[in-house]
Amino acid sequence: MGGTLVVVGSANADLVVAVARRPAAGETVLGGDTRVAPGGKGANTAVAAARLGAAVRFIGAVGRDAYGDLLLGSLTEAGVDVGGVRRVDRPTGVAAIAVTPDGENSIIVSPGANGALLPEDVRLGGARVVVASLEVPLPVVEHAVLAAEQAGIRAVVNLSPVAVLSPDVFAVLDPLVVNEHEAAGLGDLLALGVRSAVVTRGALGADVVTAEGTTTVPAPKIDVVDTTGAGDAFTGALAVGLANGERLVDAVRAAVKVASLSVTLPGAQPSYPTQARMNRSANSRP
């Protein structure tokens, strides 16, 4: 039950439909064929990190149904240790995702089995970094962070969907990761007490916020196909860098590249690059 990285979070089956535009209230819009793909912010983060070569253990809950099999299959295939995934008598989480031609998405999540995850499911083993995201019960996230702090393990939280954590939990995050929409709702991030924060800004890259100031890491220019799960890929790659002992800003630089490659392909997990693909794309740049 090893794992340099322990990821605590959700696993969802993504039901993805391409639409010309989002429906308004009371309106019906026809879309393309449904694609079913493994997703969920936690499982996405775990798969992204494992593809980059990290030893990853995922803590989560799925149902005893076909979507549960799909999720476990994708995690296992990526090399993630799924010994900490519990199968429960609730339907596996599902995300209904509409993707518009600009690559943006709208997501409705039915957490299902994710809601059955318990603080006692969290086992940190000999991890160097613990990463948690929301879509699982808040007490699980808070327990994971505080247990990490106690064990001297670095804690990273991707606060998505946005939530208010208790001050002692915010106080140990290094970093708190949010996208620009989530950041706007939180105000001054350092005032939350976090050790550091990273704000992902899509095509504009990411801001690294510490007491010393804010550094902007730009993103490469790319053709956006589907931004679903780009933040999860970012968080996974960031955690890999931190587990390897990189400085925060260097880990963010690598994470921006990974997230940028992920948006050039459809879906979340299916679009995450391996370390080999990262190396190829670095070599193909002038």
Query: Active-site residue numbers?
Result: 232
Partner that binds at residue 41, options Na ion, ligand RIB, none, CB closer than 5 to 8 Å by kind: ligand RIB
CA separation for the pair 103, 109 (Å, rounded): 19
- The response to whether 41 counts as a known ligand-binding position is yes
- The response to whether 212 counts as a known ligand-binding position is no
Indicate whether 226 belongs to the interface with ligand RIB (CB under 6 A).
Answer: no
Indicate whether 271 belongs to the interface with Na ion (CB under 5 A).
Answer: yes
- The response to whether 44 counts as a known ligand-binding position is yes
Q: According to CB under 6 A, which one of 3, 39, 63, 112 is a site residue for ligand RIB? A: 39
Indicate whether 226 belongs to the interface with Na ion (CB under 5 A).
Answer: yes
- The response to whether 138 counts as a known ligand-binding position is no
Q: How many C-beta atoms lie closer than 10 Å to residue 41's C-beta? A: 28
Name which of 164, 240, 255, 178 is nearest 209 in CA terms: 178
Partner that binds at residue 74, options Na ion, ligand RIB, none, CB closer than 5 to 8 Å by kind: none
Indicate whether 10 belongs to the interface with ligand RIB (CB under 6 A).
Answer: yes
Greatest pairwise CA separation for the chain in angstroms: 53
Q: Scanning residues 251 to 280, which ones bind ligand RIB (CB under 6 A)?
A: 268
Sheet holding 129-133, edge to edge: 81-88, 56-63, 5-8, 129-133, 154-158, 173-179, 197-200, 206-210, 213-217
- The response to whether 267 counts as a known ligand-binding position is yes
Q: According to CB under 6 A, which one of 112, 205, 229, 241 is a site residue for ligand RIB? A: 229
Question: The tokens 């026809």 sit on which residue?
Answer: 30
Partner that binds at residue 226, options ligand RIB, Na ion, none, CB closer than 5 to 8 Å by kind: Na ion
- Nearest distance, CB of residue 158 and ligand RIB, angstroms: 9
131, 156 contact by CB (below 8 A) = yes
**CB-count exposure of residue 266 (10 Å: 0-12, 13-18, 19+):** middle
Q: Scanning residues 98 to 127, which ones bind ligand RIB (CB under 6 A)?
A: 107, 109
Indicate whether 228 belongs to the interface with ligand RIB (CB under 6 A).
Answer: yes
Q: Which is nearer to Na ion, 4 or 260 (CB)?
A: 260
**Site track for Na ion across 237-256, x = CB under 5 A:** --------------------
The interface region with Na ion, picked from 2-10, 65-73, 181-189, 219-227 by CB under 5 A, is 219-227
Residues within the annotated binding site?
12-14, 40-44, 135, 179, 200-205, 226, 228, 231-232, 262, 265, 267, 271
Binding residues for ligand RIB, per CB under 6 A?
10, 12, 14, 39-41, 44, 95, 107, 109, 135, 228-229, 231-232, 268
Binding residues for Na ion, per CB under 5 A?
226, 262, 271
